[in-house]
Structure 1
Amino acid sequence: MTSSEALIFEARDTEIFSIPDTKTKLNTLQNYFFPRLKRLLDEALLQVKEAYHIDPFEKYNFIYSPSHRKEAKSNRDTDLVLIGVSGRRHFDRQLKVIREDGKPYAFHPASAIFQVTNAGRMSVSVRPFNWWDDDYFWKLKKYFRQNYDEFTALLNQGNLSYTSHTDQIQLAPLKQMLRDEYFFEIQSSAVYLPVANPMAIDQLILDFVLLFPILDICYSLAEGVKPKFPEHVQALSTWLATRKQPVFLKPDDQEIQMPELDSYRFVRAGLWYQVLARDNWTCCSCRRSAKEHGIVLHVDHIQPRSLGGKDEIENLQTLCLKCNIGKSNKDSTDLRS
């Protein structure tokens, strides 16, 4: 998926979670929201490759949730969306993480993900303990203790933090957390929708790159091989010293790029996404789609409201952000045919 268009997450995206029909909600997430998250992940993995001189796809697969099939008889509702990577399954060797029945787990225990809540909170995290055994659990904590200075320097570089998986205890100091029996995950600071400024997008990507060595430690220990954490830290330091920073956009600059559009004020959320689905998540003008190009789509009045046009589905069509900005408010062209 490629697109030269700026990656944008709108405040209206949170309204997807309010769609009452679960199947429609999941369909909208899959066809409209996930493609932009995939663009975010693709760029993060590209920068992982540049920073650490590795091909992440040799060891990692995509994961995402919710997973939705059109023919499913029932669908689970969700207030959380995530996309990321976890260790690739190898059929020629077994993991060193063992289930209670004595058989090795088939899938890697750790994942690195972008996640978005129904409140519009976006963050990055590494989850080391999706499943585990005692040997993996304590080896991982021991490894972090042995590399404590590098580990904490990595956290501080990106203002990353750790969190416990239990609400019953106060968060212990980091050194204690690496010795106690509680699970944890590493998280980035959050950003909140709308997210349009390249600086905010870049910070999410950078946090993913910073978290990647932690994921790779988990991968190595589960495989029973020595982690390359010291090499990764050194490569990261070199990469950060030469990395170009995105241009900061002031609020006034963003307003020029994101004008106030008529349909935003008058088309209710349910109808908005009904129009996008009817038009197959594709711009009726340039024919680019959200699924293939990861673009933002808007709903346009064919006959403008200023000329008596109504907020009814027959008078609405899907346009991408660029085409909608370029269309005059006095233009009544029906682009659907």
Structure 2
Amino acid sequence: MAVPQPVPQLVLGPPTQTAVFLTLTVAPGREDDVRDGLRELSGLSRSVAFRARDDALACVAGLSSDAWDRLAGGPRPRELHPFTPLQGPRHLAPATPGDLLLHLRARRADLCFELARLVLDGFGDAVTVVDEVHGFTYFDERDLLGFVDGSENPTGSAAADVVLIGDEDPDFRGGSYVVVQKYLHDLTAWNALPTEEQERVIGRHKADNLELPDDVKPPDSHVALTTVEDEDGEEQRIVRQNMPFGRLGTAEFGTYFIGYSRTPAVTERMLRNMFLGDPPGTTDRILDFSTAVTGGLFFVPSAGLLDDLPAPGETRETAPEPVPAEAVHPGSSLGIGSLKGAPAS
């Protein structure tokens, strides 16, 4: 008989038009306050979501490797470690400070704003916001470079298989890993390229999003380098929920990359291909126009574990809580199905 999984956080939800991404650091000595705040997070989310039931408000919380040691008791998630910075021949993927990640999304910006405000009020001066990004849907699911975002995301139960930890780490079934990076685009340089050259950078046609044929697609294109396979030739996937963002007054235009997976190794391999090259030196040409300015890796506990996060030295109950059927089928209230995506996959 299969072991049921605990209920996951709403990592896999329906498409939304807006998102807020908050990266927080925890003040020394305030771990108890932050742990209490995390335990209240699901209740706050329900209270705000109740005011607009049809607008798909959700908040996903993740803890960094260091934050897990400071805030949580019991065993560690098997693959949790700090984000690994990458210094390639021309481009850098930096690791930046961050103890907690909050990913809020909804069909309305006011819901994200209200929930973020209440959560931060609850934390008070126990946390500091070190990065804040307000994302939005751009026309027909495109990034600010003009290409469709996330067309290779798995859907339905396949998405749950890609994202949710299973028997490989039984103490953390229903959890996930998430890698985030904020990319800033040089739109002046990008828009100076003819469309055909932009397509060679990405590896897709701009108008219809079709992938370029293998004999035309350059080996340093984004699609070529972020398509990874295991030793049996099976493609390894993640679920991206990226969003564009921008500030007109400072000419800041970018994409917030956020990739969920049941193991961070797949995302990390994609990043090594992009920044170091595969083969070495064949780096992703998109990095000539998009600069990574942040980087973090976080563990997303199951909803039950987050609601009852034990302090260091405490033990926790490990009896699994079954996943409701609607959590793993498309068209359900959790909306695992047609998912928001990420930059040109």
TM-score higher than 0.5 = no
TM-score by length of 1: 0.25
TM-score by length of 2: 0.25
Find the structure with the greater CA-based Rg: 1
Structure with more contact order per residue of length (Cα contacts < 8 Å, sep ≥ 6): 2
Larger strand percent: 2
